Amino acid sequence: MINESALLESKTLRDGVLERTDVLDRVKALSLLPDGVHVTTAMVATYFEVTVDALRALVQDHRTELENSGYHVLAGSRLSDFKSLSGIQSRSRSLALFSRRAVLNVAMLLRDSEVARQVRVYLLDMEYLARAQPVDNSVHTDTVSLDDRIDQRITHILGKTVVPMFNALIETSGEHRKELIALRAGVQRIERRLHQHHTRLQRLEGVRDDRPAVGVMAAMDAMNGRTFEHHIAKLLRRDGCTNVVVQGGHGDRGVDIIGLTPNGRRLVVQCKRFAPYLNITSPDMQRFVGAAKVLHGAEVALFVATCPFTSEALNIAAETGITVVHRGLLEQWSAGEPLKILE
């Protein structure tokens, strides 16, 4: 099987799998602009958890390839038309856009991103499975099951029959002892690889509990502010919070949700459904600190946002005891992982 690093070196390999954009959401939900087709440079950087500068450097090095897979820059009337159709508000004179194919192309070029590496590994795993399957889809399930049983049978024979046979030969042989030991080591390597292959197939074909459900963040990005607040309230109730009240809007005194944690502590929550390329800034955090601690006397204060937080905002949160629920943590929480602060 091809190693994932091969995609970094071979454009031919990359071109051959560019249509497998579904892999992106299998690894991590990719949020799109309101047009449902494109993402911006900042959104791609957020997805891969790298800086915008790192992504721009990658585009500069591989611009032609990325343009062939759907990357393009809008300016002038084309940009104005796109803004009016998509509802994007930007004062920039140009806007770089990536299609899903271009984002997948980035994943196959970006070296210093764990998310990109996971995409490459998963992509090659799925390609391997697809090529190992017979053309006739009507016998797909039976054939894969048969192949799986054959792999297990071969592994069993190697481990229980062939290796013990080599052990016996080695004990009684003098002249060819070194050669037999080398052959036994080779058989044991094959046995281990077959076992690893079987484990990988089970992992890919089974339910992946370690990945958030596909489309979790995309669904939240499509919500309006009020719907998002009720979604967070639902998560709080799911995790055992009581007396949960959504009070966002005029007269909310700086918080959107109040309630009690499962062990009875006073809880307040601020919800911000911002575009993923925006940030929660220091002034945003300072306002919430005042509302949560002074006006509401909160024992547990959550600042929940669909976008990143600036480093200064994170520092203020850490100093004042505010729990930050950033985009990545929100994705995990929405997919079923409870917040530890609520336990």
pLDDT(162) > 50:
yes
169 band by pLDDT with thresholds 50, 70 and 90: low
Establish if 78 belongs to a structural domain: yes
pLDDT(15) > 80:
yes
Establish if 210 belongs to a structural domain: no
CATH number at residue 333: 3.40.1350.10
Expressed in angstroms, the distance from the first to the final Cα of the chain is 44
Establish if 27 belongs to a structural domain: yes
pLDDT tens digits, one per residue of 96-111: 999 999 999 999 999 8
Chain-centre distance for alpha carbon 60: 25
Burial of residue 69, with CB atoms counted within 10 A of its CB: 0-12 exposed, 13-18 middle, 19 or more buried: buried
Establish if 85 belongs to a structural domain: yes
Domain that holds residue 189: 137-205
> Which of 132, 156, 176 is where one domain is finished?
132
Q: What is the mean pLDDT of residues 4-20?
A: 82
Establish if 291 belongs to a structural domain: yes
Whether residue 41 is found in the same domain as residue 18? yes
Whether residue 224 is found in the same domain as residue 335? yes
Whether residue 167 is found in the same domain as residue 83? no
> Which of 183, 205, 227 is where one domain is finished?
205
Whether residue 80 is found in the same domain as residue 16? yes
Establish if 153 belongs to a structural domain: yes
Establish if 211 belongs to a structural domain: no
Task: Compute the C-alpha angle 214/220/226, nearest 5°.
Answer: 160
Whether residue 198 is found in the same domain as residue 221? no
User: Taking a C-beta distance cutoff of 8 angstroms, is the pair 267, 236 a contact?
Assistant: yes
State the pLDDT at residue 322.
Answer: 94
pLDDT tens digits, one per residue of 238-295: 988 999 999 866 556 778 999 999 989 999 999 998 877 788 999 999 999 999 988 8
Beta strands in the chain, from DSSP E residues, in sequence order:
39-40, 72-75, 94-98, 242-246, 257-260, 266-272, 300-305, 322-325
Whether residue 262 is found in the same domain as residue 180? no
Q: What is the mean pLDDT of residues 153-166?
A: 60
User: Taking a C-beta distance cutoff of 8 angstroms, is the pair 322, 300 a contact?
Assistant: no
- Give whole-number Cα distances, 67 to 64, 87, 98, 149, 225, in Å: 5, 24, 9, 45, 35
Whether residue 237 is found in the same domain as residue 337? yes
Q: Locate 279 and state its tokens.
A: 């940030």
122 band by pLDDT with thresholds 50, 70 and 90: confident
Establish if 273 belongs to a structural domain: yes
Whether residue 64 is found in the same domain as residue 126? yes
327 band by pLDDT with thresholds 50, 70 and 90: confident
- The count of domains in the chain is 3
